[in-house]
Amino acid sequence: MNRKEGFLKRTGDFLAGRGFYLVLILCVAVIGVSAWAMLGGTAEEPSLPVLGEIEEDFAQQPPSVPTLGETNRPRPTVTPRPAEQETFFGRDEPEESPAPEETPPPDPEQPAPAVQEPLQFVWPVGGRVEVYHSMDQLIFDRTMGDWRTHAGMDIAADLGEQVLAVATGTVEQIFHHDLLGTTIIINHGNGLQSLYANLVETPVVEAGQWVAMGTPIGAVGTTALAKSGVVHHLHLEMIEDGVRVDPLHFLPKR
């Protein structure tokens, strides 16, 4: 009896000292067994596709691969600019050149314009040259008794000898000069004029009259005061674009 009571006492003391830990272990074990029963009885292992199935799916429906430059974003809509505003790299489009105007055919009834032939020249009188043109150096004037330039050329002639137009042209002026006497100027065009001085008082042409080369326009006289005391002669000047030039540049050689 005492032995039985001693065993029970020792067992009660052991349980009193370590009974808490035993109860805790039992609880954990029960929870673990329950969890294993739940997972092991209901969960199924996932099935992984084998290589053959992957190749079969790829052959039936290949994946769509976007090409270069394609995106999933919608492309913006571009509104074309009006034709008159289109430019190339900032430069306006070249304008179309207008079509050349057609030249009307010549009228067969209308005469063709006359071709102006080069001027030809003749000597106004037939005498020798008494005084030459000299604008670069002074020459002695026997009438005035001094040294001076000479804008024209003095050609010896008989008193009353006919004076001829040196070239074709229009009589531009007829006037009386205090020193040169009766003077005629003929316009030959293109800036060229001829001047005839020391003529008789009454010429045989009028201002505005057209004259041909060699047409008589007057006669040698004694109306020039600056030419007194010398042989009878014609004073001839050639004027080109307002400048007195040497008449020998135009008259034929003889």
86 pLDDT more than 50 = no
Q: Which residue has the higher pLDDT, 97 or 118?
A: 118
Q: Which residue has the higher pLDDT, 57 or 247?
A: 247
54 pLDDT more than 90 = no
- Model pLDDT for residues 204-214, shown as the tens digit of each residue: 999 999 999 99
Q: Which residues contact 235 (CB under 8 A, 6 or more apart)?
A: 152, 153, 154, 180, 195, 196, 197, 198, 224, 227
Element (H, E) at 9: helix 2-42
Largest Cα span, the chain: 206
196 bridge partner residues:
184, 236
d(CA 172, CA 209): 8
d(CA 113, CA 15): 152
On whether the CB atoms of residues 8 and 14 are closer than 8 A, the answer is: no
238 pLDDT more than 80 = yes
Q: Which residue has the higher pLDDT, 111 or 34?
A: 34
87 pLDDT more than 60 = no
Indicate the Cα dihedral angle 47, 48, 50, 54, nearest 10°.
120
**Confidence at residue 146, expressed as pLDDT on a 0 to 100 scale:** 65
**Confidence at residue 92, expressed as pLDDT on a 0 to 100 scale:** 53
- Model pLDDT for residues 137-158, shown as the tens digit of each residue: 877 666 666 677 788 999 999 9
**Confidence at residue 96, expressed as pLDDT on a 0 to 100 scale:** 66
**Confidence at residue 103, expressed as pLDDT on a 0 to 100 scale:** 67
d(CA 165, CA 215): 5
Question: Exposure string (b/e) for 57-74, b if CB count within 10 Å is 16 or more?
Answer: eeeeeeeeeeeeeeeeee
**What's the chain's average pLDDT?**
76
Hey, where are the domains in the chain?
1-39, 129-249
Q: Which residue has the higher pLDDT, 137 or 58?
A: 137
Domain 129-249: which topology? Glucose Permease (Domain IIA) (2.70.70)
